[in-house]
Structures are given as structure tokens and as C-alpha cells.
Amino acid sequence: MPGPHPRRIDVSVEHLEVVRRHLRRGTTERRVADRARILSFAAQGRAPGEIARGLGCGRNTVWRTTQRYEAEGLDAALYDRPRSGRRRRIFPPRPHPPPSVGVQPAE
């Protein structure tokens, strides 16, 4: 297969345990779980194309995740970077209007 040969990335034992914990939890966000699987498979020495096909993502996603892990660490590889722009504001729910005065229930 043309292109760069796969190389095994060195994932520390502590980081592998965090990755496995993310994969065992049922509440892990999908994109975080996919990135954790990418790191787990890359640590086993699997080729980026093989990882991408197995997870249904692009090879660029695999390359980007492994490169971010090597350059910036586990948190940078698993989680999105902060977005620019104003944060969303979530307002508390409005109180219900009081019942109308003088309205008699139907009999």
C-alpha cells in the first residue's frame, strides 16, 4: 500500500488506562470514544487506513488524533479545543403566568 508506513505510537500505561476507562463508560461522548479507540488501536501498531475503516472515519481523523496526542498529550487528542466566539447563553425557564382572575371553571 503506498504512503507512509504505520508506526506504533507510544501511549503510556496511565494514558491507556484513561482510554480504557472512557471506552468502558456508557456515558462517554461519541467523538471522545472514537478518539480513544483511535489511540488504542494506534498503540497496537495498526495502520491508519485500517483504523479508519474499522471505525468508519477518515484517515485524516486518525492522523490528526495521533499527531495531537504526540504533540500535546492525551487531553488535546481526546477533547475538542475551545471554540472562538461568544459562548451560548442559556436562560432559566420563564415562570408560568398566573391563572386569570375571575374565570370560573366550566361545569
Instruction: Give whole-number Cα distances, 100 to 19, 63, 97, in Å.
Output: 57, 63, 9
Q: Which helix (H) or strand (E) holds 78?
A: helix 74-78
Across the chain, mean pLDDT equals 83
Predicted TM-score (pTM) of this structure: 0.69
Angle at 19 between CA 12 and CA 15, to 5 degrees: 20
Residue 69 burial by Cβ neighbours in a 10 Å radius (0-12, 13-18, 19+): buried
Please tell me the distance from the alpha carbon of residue 37 to that of residue 100, in angstroms, as a whole number.
57
pLDDT digits (tens, 9 = 90+) for 18-70: 888 888 888 888 899 999 999 999 998 888 899 999 999 999 999 999 999 99
pLDDT at 77: 92
Under 8 Å between Cβ of 78 and 98: no
pLDDT at 26: 80
